[in-house]
Amino acid sequence: MQLYDKTFESRLLLGTALYPSPAIMAEAARASRAEILTVSLRRESAAQRTGQDFWALIRETGATVLPNTAGCHSVKEAVTTAQMAREVFNTSWIKLEVIGEADTLQPDVFGLVEAARILSEDGFAVFPYTTDDLVVAERLVEAGCRVLMPWGAPIGSGRGLNNPYALRTMRAHFPDVPLIVDAGIGLPSHAAAAMELGYDAVLLNTAVAKAGDPVRMAQAFAKAIEAGRAAYEADPMEMRDMAAPSTPVLGKAFLA
């Protein structure tokens, strides 16, 4: 899987928030075999260097860091946060979030496109958290995004894929653009379903972080994503409205 200028074996992207402890987060990240970890920018105390132990754990995993603009509700806020993240994490990669609705955390797609254009022109590799709307997706590609990250369901809801039809349509519409389902995944079966649709990867956080055993759940997601991708590449059978016998009727004995 190639995303911008980097190639990865794993198709699982994992968030680093909400875990019982940083140590469990690091252990779950290793168990998931994820090669990309998303992190949100937090202000640190210049004197106390708060958060340094956390970043040390992130670095020890060897994963690529994908900073995000979580919690940003305006273009200015998202762009400023991205610029700060580039300085803190020394990377031009950014997961772009511009939230437009507080209850569902649905993206503000108008602000998202504007922020994506500004950041792309500033040299960022933008990973936009968006809806499954094709027109919005087209505008994001025109703005310079070479990866799209449509939601499966609202962030942290665990509902899975609310609109498989829209996701399948997006996959068909953008055959050459890497697509990553981001948000709403609650179970390994949800992740497998996304991969069976032909998506390139899945990004999740809460489903692992809030599990009773985050490490074991991370392992389960790693296996589910591998299985879903293998199923897609194996060219699955098409669904039918009627039964189809697996035993040939031709040659069957006729009993009077």
Annotated binding site: 156, 183-184, 205-206
Q: Is 210 designated active site?
A: no
Mapped to the 3 state alphabet, what secondary structure does 179-200 carry? Answer: EEEECCCCCHHHHHHHHHCCCC
Measured at the CA of 134, the angle between CA 154 and CA 118, to 5 degrees, comes to: 85
Q: Which of 6, 95, 210, 223 is catalytic?
A: 95
Question: Residues near 79 by Cβ (< 8 Å), separated by ≥ 6?
Answer: 115, 118, 119
Residue type, 247: T
CA 253 to chain centroid, in Å, comes to 55
d(C-alpha 211, C-alpha 223), whole Å: 16
For strands 201-204 and 180-182, give the pairing: parallel
Radius of gyration of the chain (CA): 20
Going across the sheet that includes 180-182, the strands are 149-150, 125-130, 93-96, 64-68, 36-40, 12-15, 201-204, 180-182
**Annotated binding-site ranges for 1-deoxy-D-xylulose 5-phosphate:** 156, 183-184, 205-206
Active site residues: 95
